[in-house]
Amino acid sequence: MTRIAVHHWQHRIAPVFDIGGEILVLGDGAGAHEEHLLQCSEPLHRAEELCVLNVGTLICGAISRTMSEALAARGITVVGFVAGDLERVVAAWEHGRLDESFAMPGCRGAGRGRGAGESRAAGFGPRHAESPVLVVPEDASDAGSGGQRRRARRGGRWPGGSGVPGT
C-alpha cells in the first residue's frame, strides 16, 4: 500500500505545495506518522522525492498545474486546495470524513473541480485513493489580481463581450 503525505506549515495545511517542504507521511498503522523535509522545489525532483517515500496520495493546499502534472506523471494522486488544522485534516482523512468543509476559501461548490467531471468534494477521503482525482479550480491559471488582463492578452474577451475593458 502506498502512503499518504500531508504538506503542512505551522500545524496547518500549507497554503502552497510548490514552496516549502514539510510533509507528514501517514504510515500504515495507527499513529505511525513520519515527518520529512522535501529538499527540491523543481516539480520533477519533488515528485521523485515523494516516490522514494512511497507516497501515493498528497493532501495539500494550492498547487500549480506544472507541479500537479509532474506528480500525476509519477502516479501520485493529488487532493489539493485543502485548508485547516493539520490534526483535524489527518483525523478527517483517516475516518473518511475529509469533505468540502476543509476546502480552501473560494474553492467550494460542486463542479469547480477538474478531471472526470468530479465535484470538489469527490476527491476527499481515503475511499478515493485508488481513483486519481486532481482538484484544481477552473480559474487557477487566472488566479490573483490581473486575471482578466491575462485572459485578454491571450486573445480572450473581457466580460461583456468586447475586446476592451469597460466597453
Model confidence pLDDT, tens digit, residues 35-70:
999 999 899 999 999 999 999 999 999 999 999 999
End-to-end CA distance of the chain: 57
- Judge contact between 125 and 150, C-beta under 8 A: no
CATH number attached to the domain at 3-136: 3.30.420.130
pLDDT of residue 110: 40
To which H or E segment does residue 43 belong? helix 43-52
Task: Report CA-CA distances (Å) from 8 to 11, 69, 76.
Answer: 6, 20, 18
pLDDT of residue 30: 63
pLDDT of residue 55: 95
Domain residue extents for the chain: 3-136, 139-167
- Residues of the chain under the 70 pLDDT cut: 1, 29-31, 108-167
Contact residues for 143 (Cβ-Cβ < 8 A; gap 6+): 137
pLDDT of residue 2: 82
